[in-house]
Structure 1
Amino acid sequence: MGLVRAELTASVSTRAQQDLVATNGTYLAYAAEGQEVVYVCSLKKVSAPPLKLLVHELVVPGQRVGRKGVNALHLGSLPGHRGRGDVLLEKRLFAATRRKVHCWNIEECYAAMERGSGADCKSLEVPEDCVVSHLRTDENLRWLAAASNSDVLIYSLQRQCLIMRLDGHSLQVNALQFHTKQCCDQVITASDDRTFKVWDLERRELAYESSMYGASPFVCLAIDPTFPRMAIGSTDGLVRFFDLMSPSYQLIQGLDIPLAVRRKFGEPVNQDKDLEEEGRQVQVITKGGAESVAAATTGDSRRHGKWKPTEQIGMACVSSVSELYYIKTEDRSEGKDLLPVSPKVIACTTQMLIIVDAYTYDIITIVPFSEYSYRNCREIDIDTPRLFVADNRSHGLVTICIGSAFTPVINVVTVAHLEDGHGQEGEEGFLTGRMVGLGVESHGNEGEGGEASKVSVFPTSPPKRLSKLYQAIEKENKHDSSVSSYESATRKKSLGKTQRSGNKPVTFHSRIKSSGYGKVEPLKFLGKQVQSRTLVKRASSNLKSGRLLKSYPMDCEPVHTFQDHHALDNDAAVHSAPILRVRFCPDGSRLATASVDKTVRTLRLPLAKHRGDGETFLGHGGPVLDASWNHSGNLILTGSLDRTACLWSVKKSQALIQIEGPSAGKKGKVAQGFKSDIKAARFFHLDKLVVLACMNKLHFFKYDLGPKKQTDDIARLHQARTHSHILELSTESQSVTNFDCHNGFISNLLVAGTSAKSIEVFDADACALVRRMDNAHSRAIHSIMLNSTSPYVSHDRSAHELFLSAASDSSVKLWDLRSPRSVRCFAGHLNRQNPIGVRFSPCMKYIACGSEDKVVYLYDVRMGTVIRKLRQGISDIVGDVCFHPIHPQLVAATYDGKLRFFSS
């Protein structure tokens, strides 16, 4: 993604303090109070004499005379290349006085100055009862909007006349911007009445009127030039982001700038303690044959930790946002990258510039002015800024002109977003002067030697032979504990005598029907219907072709059709209590559900055909909090509130292994039981291990399902299935609320969400904490989901580095393990109290999320916007969601114990 850099490129000296400033990235215009002269200078030649433009008006006798001089300034430009704006073909200056709006062509004015003649000026009449305070033009120089008190005047620059007057606000209009939506021009206004309005210029009507947001007036407004999003700032320092693609202009997220600055930079840090902890070694303690490792923070994770200003931060200085500007990036609406470059928002205050990621709503860094000094960041030498004006038409570049309150100087600051790591050259892309470094880390891959590439789900070195994890996996046991041996034993037992070796009498290796060897009787189980062994063509109820897909369709549309036929008779509930987990098995033939009613069920799919046929697992004494499939799809691991975890076979309703706590040896004798409920349970290392989360620890167990073959019924009854505790990792937080790990391939990393609002990444082979993301959410994290892609799709290996986190702050964040910061933030759903589930779609284009408002939300992974709201058939809180690994199908589990299926 490159870097974001800021530099002080120029300082323009003026004769007096300036009240009005305007820029288009190439020219700078300014005017003083009470003067009827506008000065224009080129930012490339600051030392050259400025261009003087007179705005003197003749006073008619008997006419009311208001304030003399210029009331508003604006520099409009017509870009030469649509979408980039690197070359400006036409540059116009607009100056509003008491009676008129004057317009000049800057290039013609400079040519006239060289000839020694006067500059040609065009004027637009201002109504008698209006005093213009803000001016703004659209990107094609067709419209001119002028704010006057609570009204907005719209001029046509082609016809040179006033065409409409927008009257709708009750107080002063502070900001206005043009926006093009569905081939129609709109103007968006923000006012002191705490509302914003959208006006349709083609229909000449009010298109949308927002409700009142908060108790503070709106003072600034910015629109993303490459994607329809809007940011509005208020006097209390809160920046709200809105989706302009939504018909209701949905509020996406709110960012409290003072609170975010206080969290990121305001907490005290002991530098000596940091240096001491960076060199601290990981302490390994052995208890009862198991290895206990304290979560010691390494130097790599501390490197991305908090830092503070060396002087005390005055939070009153950050309380108000004066201006907002977007850094223009490439067009991301039709790109092919999975995660395109996210735009950046610059929030200007009287003491600093704050760079915010517009997709994650995180503060990247700040650029303080001369009054405050910060560690790891040099300030810009600007004395008490008062006025801000910027141009964001250039690609990856924003030129900000800052006027001082006490010094007759206008400082020019350039904030550049360098995607390729190099400076830009051209008419608008000059990068010269003293750099004030902003060490912004990339969300993408910075190369093999980059800092962000050190943490990965794929092991970069061979396993450590001295580690407890390696010794536990490679050690030979009396019985093979792998799942493959258990599968082979079950398969041989089901086939009966037909698999026995040796010659068969009478038939001589050939089957004769009359001899009884040509027919195999099916197995008969008590209470179950005898099934025929004839091959039955399996059909999919949601496919028109009637055949199973061999791979997931990567070009599928988002799911939106409610499948009401996938329900039990009379729309009966699957469970009698809320469903907390729902998971498809790897081949998509079964569905596992875990509920508060202390049961776990597996249902055969499609549900419309089998009508609830499956197994019900009874054995837990409390609500089942988690359930997960193994890689082969024949075992289920569950964790419950009764402080136990169980390992089940999909063909038996009795638990194979019950884990009640860390055991001292192979016989499974419990040395010490779990002291709290099992929050999460996962298979690990290709089904060789299971990992349980209890309190603030992750417990690793190795299990043994017994010998391969048992012919004696009594021996089979007393078959020894054991488990042993081999390792535990602990965190500094109070509890691990959820975690996830990859089981489809060998990976040593585990990602855990904690009650301390942080995300911790553990390396089980090194027995260490390799990364910690503090303040990942504003509330405790309740869901962590790695991108365990479907076996029926093929993605780049970097897709496995992504994972999701969800908390009760009504937000879902997308993370990359190679980066310490989130790369996307999905907001719009309601989640304030109950845990909800999130899930990637197999095509990696969508993210499904449950909600407390009885709706399933579908987000676009690239843009982070809501594209679907599935509410049909849902009558209660959506607790969990899951995508089918083969079909474009989604299942939602609700708190009333029902399952709802949706397809594309």
Structure 2
Amino acid sequence: MEGSSRGTLSDTECLVVTERLAVSCSALVSHVQLACCSSHFAYPWQGTELRIHSNTDPGVKPLQLVGHHGNISAVVFGDGQDPLILCSASDDYIIIWDVKQCYSRAREGLIAPGTVIGTLLGKVVYLSLSPENKRAAACTANKIYILNTKKMEVLGVLEGHLGALTAAEFYSWDGDFLVSVSEDRTFRLWDVAKEQVLHQSSVLSAFPLLSVYLCKKTKQLVTGSADGQVWCFTLPNDHKCRLVSKLDLQKVVQRNRSYGEEGTECSGPVSKDGVDMVETTKPVLRIGAFTPSPDDVREEDRASYRAGNCVWIGSSDALYLINLATSELCSTLNLKGAQTVTVSAIGSWAIFHGDENRVLCVVASLFDPTVALLEVGVPGSSVSLRSFWASSGEQSLSVLPSARPMPESPLNAELPGKDACKPRRRTDSRGGVKDQALVFHSQIKSSGYGMAPRMVMFSPKTNAQKKSPGPQKTSQRKCLFAEYPVDTAPPSILHTHLSTGGRPTAIHSLQYSGDGKQILCGLGDGSALVYKSSLTGTPAICSGHAGAVTVGWSHSRKWFLTAAEDHSLRIWPLGTGEPALIMGRDRFPKPVRSAQFFYLDKFLLLASGPTLHLYLYHLDVARDDIRRYHKRNLVKLAAKLEMSSGTDITCASAVNEFFSYVVLVGGCDRSVEVFDLNVGRPSAHIPGPHTRAVHHVAQNKGSSFCAQGFDFYNLFLTSAVTDGMKLWDLRILRCVRKFEGHQNRCHPCTSAFSPCGRYIATGSEDNSAYLYDIRSSSYLKKLPRHTDTVLNVAFSPCTPELLTGTLDGKLQLFRPAD
């Protein structure tokens, strides 16, 4: 019995589905490989018979093909349309069909013939055809038979898996290589001609791997398991796969469901009629390509989709569009409980996304002998990642300000009595002016100022010949102020290794001065060290805190600050071991989590508890030995900004290299808020960027030695324990890429942008640092040979150098290869 219905799922927000055809079969086809292409789809109908339907012309009578004696277990279309071939397999035969020729013979009333290419190979659970349809791969038990598609010939047998095979695919760009996945929870890369294993993965999951997909654009392998885990690996030329990203499909869906349209988190479990619904696992039954038309994708998303980062994932209850670069759910087509779709529980998928703005899906019911053809519409708005944020203004946020501060802005605050802050003239005890030049009348003989000198101390040489100037050496100052080489390779060669002290002390923070001449290092024992950029000589030591120290340079490079868990902040003049300003518990009832100079050194920006503190300050630089303990420093609170949720702040970041109004703040409730100090309040809120609280925010602040495009300054990084590192665009407040190659399970490892904006560095708990290209999710370089966990990284602003700091107090300086 056949029927069709049309409708739109009411519980889906982005995707619109139309059921074009529903067919009842004589036997269950829930675990059978179905086939779909741009023009046709195929499935087993009467067990041993094969049916082919036209997608383009519904009026064409379906084509029935006979030739198998056993039940058909796998069907696949070939690559290309001229001629379009179909391969089907059962226990007895594997047959190649020419679809065009079969239609021609059927119109003549004749039986359509096929070419048998394999016999009695066992139950084939999966079929794959190589590019240009030269080879066929048939998966039976734990073997892969490589067959010739032109005649009955076994070209090779690939063995090695310890469990039954579930899928195998040829490289879409090279038919000499193949990837297989198995119930032994591993995947293997094969050289088909040599019948050799090129790479074998470790055990990825506790459940069998069910599906595999190869992306030609990114040269990546994507595989999914029966418990909803999805892995993405690189496929380099040396066949040494690297893990790019991993996600749990069920957790991604739950995270997407837990937030409403306006970014408010929903509380409590999902329920229906007062009864809590139990969430089941979401097996990854099929992975398909996502290839939308460029006109249907928003401009900011085109780079991500053009790179092939999005895939369709068919599960037992829904079809999901996942962005692998960000591990985010783009859209969902939920078939469970839909009234207008015949199939609600799916046992098998076939997904085809062509050039048009539609996706064709052939689904087989898990419990009924039913097959349905679904056409999924992808409107332009649906291919945008869901971003849960609300902006108070009409214009998008940007690090670079577009207008002067508003009259009522906290940034316009000034210290009272500016003249009182200026250093006074020094006078003697009798009130006479000491710093004024003495002038005496020339006629007063007793003074001696009007008389000629009585003796000649020396006579200058008038006949000395000047030496010709020799070749001048290039000073280090000129080298430091040279333009940053933007086309250089990433710094990956170890140049200098240094220990900060006798006892192992964690390096809590690292920062270069703006001119790149000095390095500020905050330690876990409450002290700070000031090194030369070459890490030579004895460092200046600044002590006094009772906790791990966070450091920060001023833009003028004359001052630096230290803040710690002991509720205090200190500002130090460069070159002295005595603080010029101390702020303590009387101002900060909770530990100072973040501190820095802000707005080109006009303010001090501090985070303590749930509050951002903005202070105006004046530091007295006058030196008077008599009144050295009489400080004339001034500090005034200009603004206090509270987190909207009232949670404590874990980290904060703002730009001090140029005027900017934006401050990025992470909270204990896993949220990230964007404060606009021009208006003095939060302007945007991201409720759950990570599964854990964000412990570090890094902005692309650039460098005075290198120029970047304006848009690059709107990129920032967030890091969270166990949840990797994410790259965000401030203008749209959306994650644009996720980096997961490094290990970050318990320690707060930090990250940094290179001055050129091309590279990202981060610490890791495997005693290594990792370098990423900002355009790829896979790490570019791994910097091993550290003695402990790499907690902090910092790029030099003027030269291509990377400095790393470890948990045991070691500094390592890396430079590019010659």
Aligned to 1:454: 396
Q: Give matches, 1:571-582, under 5 Å.
A: 573=501, 577-582=505-510
Residue 35 of structure 1, CA deviation: 3.2
- Looking at structure 2, the residues matched to 775 and 711 of structure 1 have their Cα atoms a distance apart, in angstroms, of 51
Report whether the alignment pairs 1:658 with 2:582: yes
Pair 338,415 (structure 1): closer, same or farther in 2 beyond 3 Å: closer
Distance in 1 (CA, whole Å) between partners of 2:373 and 2:319 is 13
Give 1:340-351 correspondences, 5 Å limit.
341=306, 343-351=309-317
Q: Does 1:48 align with 2:14?
A: no
| Whole-angstrom distance in 1 between the partners of 2:573 and 2:209 | 60
Aligned to 1:166: 158
Name the structure 2 match of 1:326: 289
State the TM-score, normalizing by the size of structure 2. 0.83
| Aligned-pair CA distance for 1:400 | 2.0
Map 1:505-654 onto structure 2 (within 5 A).
537-539=474-476, 547-548=479-480, 550-563=482-495, 566-567=496-497, 573=501, 577-607=505-535, 611-624=536-549, 626-654=550-578
Match of 2:708 in 1: 795
The one-letter code of the counterpart of 1:177 is: E
| Matched-pair contact (CA < 8 Å) for 1:384–1:406 | no
Tell me, yes or no, if structure 1 residue 121 matches structure 2 residue 62: no
Aligned mates of 2:330, 2:438 — CA distance in 1: 69
Instruction: Please list the CA deviations of residues 383-412 of structure 1 after superposition, one character each: whole Å capped at 9, or x if unmatched.
Output: 443331113565886432223454745122
Q: Do residues 235 (structure 1) and 176 (structure 2) align?
A: no
Instruction: Assess if the C-alpha contact under 8 Å between 2:393 and 2:683 holds in 1.
Output: no
Matched, 1:12 2:21: yes
Query: Which of 71, 85, 97 is the equivalent residue of 2:90?
Result: 97
Q: In the aligned structure 2, how far is the partner of 1:142 from the partner of 1:243?
A: 26
Q: Equivalent residue of 2:53, what SS?
A: strand
| Secondary structure at the counterpart of residue 798 of structure 1 | helix
CA contact (8 A) 2:233 2:241 kept: yes
2:255 paired residue number: 263
Match of 1:676 in 2: 590
**Displacement of 1:850 after TM fit?**
0.7
Q: Which residue of 2 aligns with 1:749?
A: 662
1:76 to 67, 75, 78: 78
Structure 1 residues 442 and 367: CA distance shift in structure 2, 3 A: closer
Q: Determine the structure 1 residue equivalent to 2:734.
A: 821
CA contact (8 A) 2:415 2:636 kept: no
Equivalent positions of 1:133-172 (< 5 A) are 133-157=125-149, 161-172=153-164
Work out the CA distance in 2 between the residues paired with 1:364 and 1:896: 42
- 1:897 corresponds, among 809, 812, 817, to 809
Q: 2:262 aligns with which of 300, 303, 328?
A: 303
2:185 maps to: 194
From 594, 599, 620, the equivalent of 1:706 is 620
Secondary structure, aligned partner of 1:133: strand
The within-5 A match list for 1:824-843 is 824-843=737-756
Higher mean displacement: 308-317 or 246-255: 308-317
Q: Which residue of 1 aligns with 2:5?
A: none
Q: Distance in 1 between matches of 2:201 and 2:580?
A: 59
AA at the equivalent of 1:400: C
Work out the CA distance in 1 between the residues paired with 2:458 and 2:356: 84
In 2: Cα distance, 1:397 partner to 1:833 partner = 44
CA contact (8 A) 2:328 2:385 kept: no
| In the alignment, structure 1 residue 411 sits paired with structure 2 residue 373 | yes
The corresponding residue for 2:51 is 39
Specify which structure has the bigger relative contact order, considering alpha-carbon pairs within 8 angstroms and separated by 6 or more residues: 1
How many residue pairs end up in the alignment?
753
Within the candidate set 328, 343, 347, 1:386 is matched to 347
- Whether the 8 Å CA contact 1:351–1:371 is kept in 2: the answer is no
Worse-superposed segment, 787-796 or 104-113: 104-113
- Provide Cα deviations, 1:460-479, integer angstroms capped at 9, x if missing partner: 45433234x14424876235
| 1:466 alignment partner, one of 408, 417, 420 | 408
Amino acid at match of 1:414: V
* Pairing 1:438–2:440 present: no
1:454 counterpart SS class = coil
Structure 2 Cα separation of the partners of residues 95 and 499 of structure 1? 104
Q: Which moved more, 1:342-351 or 1:187-196?
A: 342-351
Cα offset for 1:179? 2.2
Equivalent position of 1:81 in the other structure: none
Q: Against the structure 1 CA distance between its residues 776 and 253, is the aligned structure 2 distance closer, same or farther, given a 3 Å change threshold?
A: same
Output the CA distance in 1 between the equivalents of 2:151 and 2:625: 97
Separation of aligned partners in 1, 2:320 and 2:796: 42
Q: How many Å apart are 1:843 and its aligned residue? A: 1.9
Q: Using the TM superposition, give the Cα deviation of residue 890 of structure 1 relative to its aligned residue in structure 2, in angstroms.
A: 0.7
Equivalent residues of 1:782, 1:806 under 8 A apart: yes
Q: Give, in angstroms, the shift of residue 821 of structure 1.
A: 2.8
1:478 alignment partner, SS class: helix
Alpha-carbon distance between aligned partners in 1 of 2:483 and 2:436, rounded to the nearest angstrom: 33
* Aligned residue number for residue 335 of structure 2: 369
1:778 partnered with 2:778: no
Q: Secondary structure at the match of 2:419?
A: coil
Match of 1:220 in 2: 211
Judge conservation of contact 1:399–1:415 (CA < 8 Å) in 2.
Answer: no
Q: 1:337 to 1:372 in 2, by over 3 A?
A: closer
User: C-alpha separation between the residues in 2 aligned to 1:224 and 1:35?
Assistant: 33
Instruction: Give the equivalent residue in structure 1 for 2:431.
Output: none
Q: In structure 1, what residue type is equivalent to 2:693?
A: A
Deviation above 6 Å: which 4+ runs of structure 1?
A: 307-310, 335-340, 449-452, 497-503, 512-516
CA RMSD of aligned residues (A): 3.8
Match 1:718 to one of 622, 626, 630: 630
Amino acid at match of 2:484: Y
Report the residue type matching 2:399 in the other structure: V
Name the CA shift for 1:224/1:451 in 2 (closer, same or farther; >3 Å).
Answer: farther
Q: Deviations over 1:135-190 (max 9, x none)?
A: 11123322211111221111133565211111222322112122268x67321111
Amino acid at match of 1:147: C
| SS of structure 2 residue aligned to 1:320 | coil
Rounded to whole Å, the distance in 2 between the matches of 1:754 and 1:814 is 18
**Kindly tell me: are residues 798 and 234 of structure 1, through their superposed partners in 2, closer, same or farther at Cα, counting changes over 3 Å?**
same
Deviation digits for residues 279-334 of structure 1, max 9, x if unmatched? xxxxxxxxxxxxxxxxxxxxxxx734457978578444453332222314799xxx
Indicate if the aligned counterparts of 2:320 and 2:329 stay in contact, CA closer than 8 A. Answer: yes
Identical columns (%): 24
Distance 2:457 2:144 in 1: 94
Where 2:256 maps in the other structure, the secondary structure is helix
Shift of residue 452, structure 1, vs aligned partner = 9.6
Q: Which runs of 5+ in 1 are unaligned?
A: 58-67, 79-87, 270-301, 374-378, 422-436, 444-448, 490-496, 507-511, 517-534, 541-545, 662-671
The amino acid across from 1:386 in the alignment is: G
Q: Please name the residue that 2:641 is paired with.
A: 729
Gaps of 5+ in 2: 1-12, 295-299, 427-433, 441-448, 451-455, 461-471
TM-score, L = length of structure 1: 0.76
Return the match for 1:876 from 778, 782, 788. Answer: 788
Q: 1:353 matched to which residue of 2?
A: 319
Inter-CA distance 364–313: structure 2 relative to 1 (3 Å threshold): farther
User: Does the CA-based 8 Å contact 2:317-2:344 persist in structure 1?
Assistant: no
Distance 1:451 1:161, change over 3 A: farther
Find 1:401's aligned residue among 362, 366, 369.
362
